[in-house]
Amino acid sequence: MDLELSRKVDFRHEEIASRIKEKLYKNGTLCLNFISSPGSGKTSLLERTLDALKETYNLAVIEGDPETDRDARRLEKLHVPVILINTSGTGASCHLSPAEIEQAVDDLLLETPPPDIIFIENVGNLVCPAAYDLGEHHKVLLFSVPEGCDKPAKYPVAFRESDLVLINKMDLAPYCDFDLESLKKDALSVNPSLEFITMSIKKGDGLLEWFSWIEKKLAEVRKQASK
């Protein structure tokens, strides 16, 4: 009985995710789903990204947090639409769900003009968020040097389901006994198509490469939408 219920729930999630993706393609809107451990720098990265791109593109954020509106208020200062979802009251506090994302995407696509890019800041967790397709075009895994280079082996699903790994806090690498090549090797053994960008959000290193990656992916979505 439990297995059958799980199959029904999974199918329902897949159905919603597929519907979200169809709406995004129809509008030519790129959607990126950020996953990471707490404290890796997701909100800081979004602040730098929104500030750099908001004059060129229409941007929006779906902010997932178990409690508080602190991160949402940080991002609202950049004067872009932010929809906050506190997951502690939804029964699934460790991740955002496709149903929650569909409602938020529907609301954002009603904006005039609609967003060119929607960023989803998922709950800080390398387990649950990695397992759910939210209709995004790409999962982006933000990883920080102090977490250690063993994470691809310990959390393989997060690396397998992601398209890009952003390796943050590289300025701390000399103090953390961090082996970048070892991490890349283990990550590629899980997902051979992974891309990597090393960065220090605090110093600004790697941000231009990250912005170029976003623009490339937006162009791909727009090309698909025009077909």
pTM: 0.93
Per-residue confidence (pLDDT) for residue 1, from 0 to 100:
40
For 57, the 3-state DSSP assignment is: coil
List the single range of 3-7, 39-43, 152-156, 192-196 with lowest mean pLDDT: 3-7
pLDDT digits 0-9 by tens, 112-128: 999 999 999 999 999 98
Per-residue confidence (pLDDT) for residue 221, from 0 to 100:
96
Per-residue confidence (pLDDT) for residue 89, from 0 to 100:
64
Q: Are 41 and 206 in contact (CB under 8 A)?
A: no
Per-residue confidence (pLDDT) for residue 224, from 0 to 100:
87
- Whole-number mean pLDDT of the chain? 92
Q: Name, in order, each residue with C-beta under 8 angstroms of 87's C-beta and a sequence gap of 6 or more.
A: 64, 65, 66, 93, 94, 95, 96, 100, 123
Joined together, the tokens standing for residue 61 give 């954020």
Q: Name, in order, each residue with C-beta under 8 angstroms of 83's C-beta and a sequence gap of 6 or more.
A: 60, 61, 62, 63, 104, 107, 108
Domain containing residue 11: CATH number = 3.40.50.300
How many structural domains are present in the chain? 1
pLDDT band at residue 226 under the 50/70/90 scheme: confident
Cα–Cα distance measured from residue 30 to residue 39, given in angstroms and rounded to the nearest whole number: 25
Q: Which domain holds residue 85?
A: 2-225
